[in-house]
Amino acid sequence: MSTIKGLVPSTTQYDGSNLRIAIIHARWNKQIIDALVDGAIRKLRERGVKEHNIVPQSVPGSFELPLACANVISASQIQASTSETPSQPFDAVIAIGVLIKGATMHFEYICDAVSHGLMKVQLDSGVPVIFGVLTALTEDQALDRAGLGRGEDKGHNHATSRGGPATSSAKNHGC
Ligand SMILES: O=Nc1c(NC[C@H](O)[C@H](O)[C@H](O)CO)[nH]c(=O)[nH]c1=O
């Protein structure tokens, strides 16, 4: 059965060649995280973002993503405005995590806190924070969304559809 879900690809080809993007990722569920980070980097490079302008940084778990994103944004803005050798501030941040439901409500509380936290970071900073956190009810759901599915259909790496919004949001943000 066909589906109506999905992101309609933008007809505008955004040029990422002058963008600087941070990728903040958790270290929980490493096999899936690694595939998502690789997918995001691949999409950013396809959009023309230079390799040295893609800056990955890790945190222990998804619960630490909002603070790390806020810190990396403010640090880059301070560095750009006060340093003797100013560097370009980040134009967007991609937050990547993998949350898999367990037997308790821990999953729900982290998912809620992280999603609201990341939204607050982007509204407070004015810098786009792309939501790349998988909130999976099962391991197979997470594996499928990283393109690592255990069945014949390996699924689709959802992080490749995070790189695009990072460049388009950054450009629309007037960077
Ligand atoms: O519990 N499961 C998960 C998890 N827990 C750790 C949490 O994010 C945080 O690092 C600690 O609570 C310490 O603050 N973090 C994830 O990214 N995915 C999970 O599936």
Q: Quick one: DSSP state of residue 103?
A: S
ipTM: 0.98
Question: In the numeric block, which tokens belong to residue 146?
Answer: 């990283």
Write down the pTM of the prediction.
0.91
Cβ < 6 Å from ligand 1: which residues? 26, 28-29, 60-64, 97-100, 106, 110
32 in Cβ contact with 142 (< 8 Å): yes
Ligand 1 pocket, mutate which of 99, 111, 135 (most atoms under 8 A from CB): 99
- Separation of 63 CA from ligand 1 center, angstroms? 6
Instruction: Annotate 122-165 with DSSP letters as a single string.
Output: HHHH-S-EEEEEEEESSHHHHHHTBT--SSSS---BTTHHHHHH
Over residues 139-170, the pLDDT tens digits come to 999 999 998 988 888 888 888 777 777 888 87
